Amino acid sequence: MHTGRSLRRRCAARTRAWITLAAVLTPLAAASAAGEPGPTLFGFTAQQAPAELSAEQRFDGALNAADLRAWLKNLASAPNQVGSPHDKANAEFVRDLFRQWGWQAQIEVFDVLYPTLRQHSLELVAPGYFKASLAEPPVEGDATSAAAGIMPPYNVYGADGDVTAELVYVNYGMPKDYLELARRGVDVKGKIVIARYGSGWRGLKPKLAWEHGAIGCLIYSDPHEDGYAQGDVYPKGGWRPPEGVQRGSVLDVTLYSGDPLTPGVGATKDARRLAIADAKTILKIPVMPISYADAQPLLAALGGRVAPAAWRGSLPVTYHIGPGPAKVHLSITSDWGLKPLYDVIARIPGRDSPNEWVVRGNHRDGWVFGAWDPLSGQVAMLAEAKAIGQLVKSGWRPQRTLVYASWDGEEPGLLGSTEWAEQHAAELAARAVLYLNSDSNARGFLAAGGSHALQHLVNQVAGTVQDPETGVSTQARLRARMLAEGYARSPAEDEDADEARREARLAAAGGDLPIRALGSGSDYTPFLQHLGLTSLSIEYHGEDDQAGVYHSSYDSFDHYVRFGDPSFAYGVVEAETVGHVILRMADADVLPFEFAGFADTIGAYAEELHHATDERRRKSAELARLLDQNAFGLAADPTRVVAPPAREAPVPQLDFGPLDAVVARLKASAHAYDAAYARLLAGELKPDATRRARLNALLQGMEQKLTEEQGLPGRAWYRHFVYAPGMLTGYGVKTLPGVREAVDGNRWDEAAAYIPISAAVLARYCDAIDAATALLH
């Protein structure tokens, strides 16, 4: 589902300090000279480490890039969206591979609401006439682009409808865009809006349009974002051609993911289901994705005000806002029936601790062929499974049970993973020590995110995996990238520059590199944010042109082997990285958690809350002064009237004391545990088997301590109080979300209420760390 581009946290602690050249070069040189990581194997004593490293070396030796290429070509040979014949065929193919390699594999079936397109049409009916093609023609050199059975582009879970109305251009269709429309006196009530992809998750665009009174929504891919403004278009280059369309789900996953009719329970045949009209995550207006070839005549027919400079894309037209005189007729009908999902679940029972599970997943369904998204990640996971099977045949067995999952139905709304997680919620809560996810994979840099108690483990593994393009470790290459981006990016020009420079400071310090917080957009969501399981996402990307064919019929094998990972070297690197994490989580006597990184990260999130609140207070006061001085009125062009921004209520003082106090306690508790764990690995502490079992049981449930049963405000399904997707970002993460969402929404009473609630959640986590420390002694 996700684009393969890193989701950056907005860092509130602003800084303008430049990193000196010495700070840039010294850690990098030291890392290269020393060969990251250090001499110890985190999670293992000196006596245990050689056996673990031997298993990992044998695992690496079993990985074969030719396997990945062959599997990808087969899996992406026909359309494999939910309900297609090839979707089921792929499930059976993957199940049979697992069985061939010695895994216990089966297919679990869930029945979900999945609207399949019956018909759609789009016409410009005034001032002229134009009929949109709503199709992607074959491309020379792309064998599958002319295949039969390609589902036409559509946005699943948009409403059926037949509407005709004036058109309004709303830029990205995000909240700040509607504020700008209001300042210009433009109302979308009773209109059809056209928004461009970008700046926020697609499902928010029609949702916000409906909330503002629109009766239909078109979403198009502007070449400014992923077409000829970025590079040569397919087939000459990798970027989106004029007729390319980004399909996608508009299911309101900010409320809950999974089948819209069975929230909170698995969508089995006998599950109780909501009526479609009562499903809160289904959109209320028709939504249609279109190409920039189809969008250009519509935009050219718009009149009204010329769009602000920041709203203008790269099409050869003057961007107007409207409304009218362009009027469009939009019609969509879908088959709103149940469709089967085929989740492939494979197991290797653990030798000593079979009731502790290490769970690994990647989805298998695509929007059409899905070579990039998701099959590039799927084949890397299959390579891991084959290599583990060879280890088992050689006599090795994991200490803990391995569970590998090939998910179906991720693209429509994380359906397969969510239904399985909800169906097996009690088992997972009691047994899962890790859920590790991936999605797409390509040339580039390590992109890791998730539970920060595993940040050190991820760093140590990345320090041992060699980047195939440079020969240094993937950790060293990522460190270099963070340093270079921190130097190059200017806060005045780039809203992500503060985050880049924060990462650069951490990289320059020479320790662990930060992993990102996870919002939503892939199958980790039900495991992390609903069940509260320790979770990771690990992929490689950053040197690819995948965005140009994202969710289109041109996301094909032929495109991937030209522009993604031609040699499949990064597929092998992905399998090595993830495989080593899986093996270490499976075999460490005591689960390899380190809490200092988590504590420091929580401290940074708390600082961001302070800064965000102070910045809103400053901006509110500044706006009031400017309004009192009539500054906007005096500065405005009288021939192009733009109303001033609306006055904001003053920002009250918030008492962050409970949160600051628990952060201090968290850092102390983390330091004590990490010191004791280091003594365990050094052989200085030797808890008996009973205490180790109690300790692992406690660590297994650590992430669950960060959840609350009542969930987050307005969306009880999301229970995690450290990481959640934003209500107005969709995929993008909000950290300490109970407080942060309220601060960002100027809901000050709610923010004040959730500071002590969030502090209490973190205090409970501290209690668990302290109990774990006691068990080590």
* Structural contact between residues 577 and 166, judged by C-beta atoms closer than 8 angstroms: no
The three state secondary structure string of 266-300 is CCCCCCCCCCHHHCCCCCCCCEEEECHHHHHHHHH
Tell me the C-alpha distance between 766 and 777, whole Å. 17
**How many alpha carbons fall within 13 Å on the CB side of residue 728?**
15
Task: Give me the phi and psi of 521, to 5 degrees please.
Answer: 115, -5
* Structural contact between residues 742 and 750, judged by C-beta atoms closer than 8 angstroms: yes
- Select from 365, 376, 346 the least CA-distant residue to 409: 365
Tell me the C-alpha distance between 762 and 759, whole Å. 5
Tell me the C-alpha distance between 556 and 85, whole Å. 18
Q: Please give the torsion angle defined by the CA atoms of residues 183, 185, 189 and 190, in that order, rounded to the nearest 10 degrees.
A: -150
Which H/E stretch holds residue 437? Answer: strand 432-438
* Structural contact between residues 465 and 576, judged by C-beta atoms closer than 8 angstroms: yes
Q: How far is CA 191 from the centre of its chain?
A: 32
Beta strands in 264-399, from DSSP E residues, in sequence order: 287-290, 327-348, 353-363
Give the residues across from 130 on adjacent strands: 124
Give SS3 for 10.
Answer: coil
* Block residue for tokens 């930060």: 514
> Annotated catalytic residue: which of 36, 180, 410, 741?
410
- Select from 699, 683, 702, 703 the least CA-distant residue to 691: 699
Give SS3 for 25.
Answer: helix
Cβ contacts of 137 within 8 Å, gap of 6 or more = 145, 243
* Structural contact between residues 307 and 177, judged by C-beta atoms closer than 8 angstroms: no
* Block residue for tokens 């289904």: 282
- How many residues are present in the chain? 777
- Output the CA torsion sign for 472, 475, 479, 484: positive
Tell me the C-alpha distance between 260 and 281, whole Å. 6
Give SS3 for 762.
Answer: helix
Say how many Å lie between the first and final Cα of the chain, rounded: 45
Beta strands 432-438 and 535-542 are parallel
Give the residues across from 702 on adjacent strands: none
- Select from 655, 652, 645, 651 the least CA-distant residue to 616: 651
Beta strands 161-169 and 327-348 are antiparallel
* Structural contact between residues 203 and 252, judged by C-beta atoms closer than 8 angstroms: yes
Tell me the C-alpha distance between 76 and 558, whole Å. 10
Is 410 a catalytic site residue? yes
Catalytically active residues are 410
